[in-house]
A = this chain, B = another copy of it.
Amino acid sequence: MKLCKYGTHRVIEPKEVLPQPANKISNDMNIYDNEILIDVDALNIDSASFTQIEKECSGDIEKIKSRILQIVNEKGKMQNPVTGSGGMLIGRVEKIGNSVSDKVDLKEGDKIATLVSLSLTPLKIDEIIDIKPDIDRVEVKGKAILFESGIYSVLPNDMEETLALAALDVAGAPAQTRKLAKKGESVLILGAAGKSGLLCCYESKKAVGQNGKVIGLVRNEKSRDLLKYTGFCNEIIVADAKNPTQVLNEVLRVNDGNEVDIAINCVNVENTEMSSILPVRDEGIVYFFSMATSFTKAALGAEGVGKDVTMIIGNGYTKKHADITLEDLRECDTLRNIFKNLYA
């Protein structure tokens, strides 16, 4: 059998697709040479998926347990058949395949969180020990496989697991921000007081320096107060991200009449594309991290107003994204405390 770094060698049905769109993959726990075996402690089910299952089972914990076991037995992975989504898992490295042992910075016994979706991860559950519906967490006895292309983070010793997980969940955003923002630039962050927004503000502030400007957009006074308390932004705007002319006018007001160099969209609501595009200068960058972004609204919207901007689809992965994000929590007490209080 030809081994594939993306795990297609485990796809059962339909043939010739990747593990994520596959209906069924092999969860045989004898690993191939290019795989890593994980002894699983817990699944963090994607919020959309957990909510759907909870509803379907009328909130009955035993029924939820059976439904999860049924899905994993049928598909070989924990992919919600309605939402299509997965989640992540936490466990210890049990065995590392021969052909990947030199390529990974892991050793047996390391406690890791997988940063690829459960929707493509081979999984076998022996027993569900407990379910914590308030944090979408399923504690299990079980095993899983990480493919050669699979990304992960070794869980740090210096912070609570839940805190690390909350930050890792949005690790792409701050790491991408660090790559984009340059000294002296002006950066607009839409949804600045949310989980990914706060991390983007913090990274922007560090990147643009004293002569740059970070502008945070929030939707209400309460979010403004939180953002003000952090000190990450030079200017804070309270505006409706669905109203592009209002957003444009407010940005011009606080930025000496100038458009910004970069806009980063972290607003998880629809129809905020134009509010991200309009305030950006010619040849500037619009970075969409929001999963509510519509490709066509962005593409046709920019054309409609004759805006020559580069629009980037937020990639949840970039090199060292987990390290960068955990580093942010370590070096900034304000950030760490907010994450502890709100998300961990």
Q: Taking beta carbons and an 8 Å cutoff, which residues of A are in contact with B?
A: 4, 6, 8, 16-18, 20, 115-117, 119-120, 149-151, 172, 243-246, 274, 278, 288, 291, 293-296, 298-319
Contacts and interface: CB of A to CB of B under 8 A. Distances in A.
Contacts of A311: 312-313, 315
Given A16-B245, A150-B306, A299 B278 contact: no
A79 to B, nearest CB: 11
Most chain B beta carbons < 10 A, residue from A117, A149, A274, A305: A305
Contact of A243 (B4, B16, B172, B291): B16
B308 A8 contact: no
3 nearest A-B residue pairs (beta carbon): A303-B316, A311-B313, A151-B306
A242 to B, nearest CB: 9
A150 to B, nearest CB: 6
Contacts of A304: 18, 20, 116-117, 119-120
A111 B106 CA distance: 66
Task: Indicate how many identical chains form the complex.
Answer: 2
Contacts of A298: 295, 313
B18 A303 contact: no
Contacts of A16: 243, 245-246
A18 B243 CA distance: 9
Contacts of A305: 6, 18, 116, 149
Nearest to A2: B249
Chain A facing B: main interface SS: loop
Contacts of A116: 303-306
Contact of A288 (B295, B307, B317): B295
Given A306-B317, A313-B313, A6 B278 contact: yes
A306 B4 contact: no
13 contacts: A6-B305, A17-B244, A18-B244, A20-B301, A20-B304, A115-B303, A116-B304, A302-B315, A302-B317, A306-B317, A307-B317, A310-B315, A313-B313
Contacts of A315: 299, 302-303, 307-311
Contacts of A120: 304
Nearest to A6: B305
A34 to B, nearest CB: 13
A315 B246 CA distance: 23
Contacts of A316: 299-300, 302-303
A245 B294 contact: no
Given A274-B18, A296-B291, A313 B314 contact: no
A8 B301 CA distance: 14
Contacts of A20: 301, 304
A142 to B, nearest CB: 21
A18 B246 CA distance: 11
A308 B149 CA distance: 11
Contacts of A288: 295, 313
A322 B123 CA distance: 52
Contact of A295 (B6, B8, B243, B294): B294
